[in-house]
């Protein structure tokens, strides 16, 4: 199947098989290949993957060995539960590196999501929290890292960023990742950062708020600043966003007197005003930025950060039914999440018209289209 799978097949062909030789009735690459095809086509459980395999067995036999037919759902479940999630992710990242253009100026977003169905109260197992990295322009999931609780994002973020080439990239992270060590790691990796600042950095947050208040009260005189505004309207909603950037060196030295925040180049403020049905609400967010950012780049980075919510987390729940999954054994939940990310990347790279839901349905019905997606 190498000629069909190209880089995808090659990337996963050398994954370490966790089984002993006497239990290997099916090759690991066959199991992984069937699972990827099945998830592209709408499978959301081990039973569904087996069902897909049996329905498509004659087609799959053109490309896979399948010496003992299609594995059972129990086999899929056992193998992916035993498969080392860290190694599986390493192979995923190697594949992504081969397809990700890593274009100059790419903005990548880091954010976490809880796999709600992965908990098991009977054995005291908490739900898995998954930290994902998403490329705004390329619309690809670049990496994922599982942690036990949301609070452990602070340790997961450096680990997942370490896997990526950050050269010329701007990394956006919410307040959980606003840490001096993370900022330093991004800069040392050749990237820039846009970090949301909230109460977890109490003094920094208070100082940034005061700086913007003083500048506004003084009519923005004697301070190096810039501003831009965006307005979106539709479906009875009007949303206005005002972006302000302060790059005044004296203010930045005041905010970072000991230089613990590497390469600080600006502080940002976003005022979001939303009107729905005649009712207006407003919220303000504050940010710390490195390098020499423009207010336009700041606006793109902040606005684009929410793409990981809409283009990844929301899609995982609504299109891939991730929150409904009850896979819990071993590394099964994390590995199935990676299968979803592989499928999402392939479907996004395919340029055919149609929603993700439509593409998955089409792939299930049309073998030639499924091959097209696999080669994307």
Q: What is the span of the domain harbouring residue 22?
A: 2-84+331-374
342 shares its domain with 230? no
Alpha-carbon Rg for the chain, nearest whole angstrom, is: 23
Q: Within its chain, how far is the Cα of 36 from the centroid?
A: 18
252 and 149 within one domain: yes
129 and 51 part of one domain:
no
Long-range contacts of 252-258 (CB under 8 A, 24+ apart): 254/207, 254/211, 255/204, 255/207, 255/208, 255/211
**Do 200 and 270 fall within a single domain?**
yes
Say whether both 124 and 257 belong to one domain.
yes
Q: What is the pLDDT of residue 4?
A: 47
Number of C-beta neighbours around residue 139 at 10 A: 14
| The domain boundary residue, chosen from 282, 313, 344 | 313
Calculate ∠ Cα 245-248-253, nearest 5°. Answer: 115
Q: Do 275 and 234 form a contact (C-beta atoms < 8 A)?
A: no
Q: Do 6 and 134 fall within a single domain?
A: no
Residue 153, phi then psi, degrees to nearest 5: -55, -35
Tell me, yes or no, whether 58 lies in a domain. Answer: yes
pTM of the model: 0.91
* 359 shares a domain with 338: yes
Q: Let me know if residue 107 belongs to a domain.
A: yes
Tokens of 233: 């309207």
Is the same domain home to 23 and 150? no
- How many distinct structural domains can be found in the chain? 2
Task: Output the six-digit token pair for 368.
Answer: 């030639």
- 64 — phi, psi (to 5°)? -120, 155
- Low-confidence stretches of the chain (pLDDT < 50) are 1-4
- Domain-located, residue 323: no
322 Cβ contact list (under 8 Å, min separation 6) = 115, 316, 337, 340
The tens digit of pLDDT for each residue in 187-227 reads: 999 999 999 999 889 999 999 999 999 999 988 887 888 99
The answer on 285 and 255 residing in a single domain is yes
Query: Is 89 domain-assigned?
Result: no
Phi, psi angle pair for 7, to nearest 5°: -65, -30
**From start to end of the chain, where are the E strands?**
107-115, 128-135, 140-147, 170-173, 192-197, 225-234, 237-246, 264-276, 279-290
227 with 349, same domain: the answer is no
**Unique residue bearing structure tokens 């197992």:** 125
Pick the last residue of a domain from 279, 313, 347. 313
Q: Are 184 and 273 in a shared domain?
A: yes
Residue at 347 is within a domain = yes
Tell me, what DSSP letter sits at residue 120? B
Structure tokens, 125 = 């197992």
In the block, tokens 């109490």 appear at: 202
Residue 131 included in any domain: yes
Tokens linked to 114: 């809880």
Q: Note whether 53 and 101 are same-domain residues.
A: no
What is the C-alpha to C-alpha distance for residues 34 and 16, in angstroms, rounded to an integer? 17
Q: What per-residue confidence (pLDDT) applies to 225? A: 86
Residues in the chain: 376
């Amino acid at each position: 199947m190498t000629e069909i799978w190209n880089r995808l097949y090659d990337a996963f062909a050398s994954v370490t098989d966790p089984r002993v030789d006497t239990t290997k009735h099916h090759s690991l690459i066959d199991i992984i290949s069937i699972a990827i095809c099945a998830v592209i086509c709408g499978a959301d459980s081990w039973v569904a993957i087996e069902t897909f395999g049996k329905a498509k067995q004659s087609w799959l036999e053109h490309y896979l060995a399948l010496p003992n037919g299609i594995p059972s759902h129990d086999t899929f479940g056992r193998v992916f539960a035993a498969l080392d999630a860290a190694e599986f992710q390493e192979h995923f990242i190697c594949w992504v590196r081969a397809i990700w253009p890593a274009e100059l100026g790419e903005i990548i977003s880091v954010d976490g999501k809880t796999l709600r169905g992965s908990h098991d109260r009977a054995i005291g197992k908490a739900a898995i929290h998954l930290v994902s990295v998403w490329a705004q322009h390329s619309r690809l999931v670049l990496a994922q890292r599982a942690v036990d609780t949301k609070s452990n994002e602070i340790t997961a973020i450096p680990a997942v960023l370490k896997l990526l080439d950050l050269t010329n990239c701007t990394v956006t992270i919410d307040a959980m990742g606003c840490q001096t060590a993370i900022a330093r790691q991004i800069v040392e990796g050749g990237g820039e950062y846009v970090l949301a600042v909230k109460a977890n950095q109490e003094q920094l947050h208070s100082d940034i708020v005061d700086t913007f208040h003083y500048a506004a009260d003084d009519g923005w005189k004697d301070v190096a600043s810039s501003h831009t505004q965006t307005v979106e309207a539709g479906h009875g909603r009007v949303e206005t966003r005002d972006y302000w950037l302060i790059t005044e060196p004296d203010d930045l030295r005041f905010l970072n007197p000991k230089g613990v925040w590497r390469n600080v180049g600006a502080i940002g403020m976003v005022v979001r005003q939303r009107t729905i049905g005649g009712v207006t609400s407003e919220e303000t967010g504050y940010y710390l930025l490195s390098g020499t950012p423009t207010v336009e780049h700041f606006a793109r980075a902040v606005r684009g950060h929410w793409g990981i919510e809409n283009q990844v987390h929301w899609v995982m729940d609504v299109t891939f039914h991730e929150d409904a999954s009850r896979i819990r054994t071993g590394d099964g939940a994390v590995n199935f999440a990676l299968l979803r990310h592989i499928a999402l990347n392939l479907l996004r790279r395919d340029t055919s018209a149609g929603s993700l839901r439509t593409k998955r349905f089409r792939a299930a019905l049309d073998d030639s289209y499924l091959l097209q997606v696999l080669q994307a």
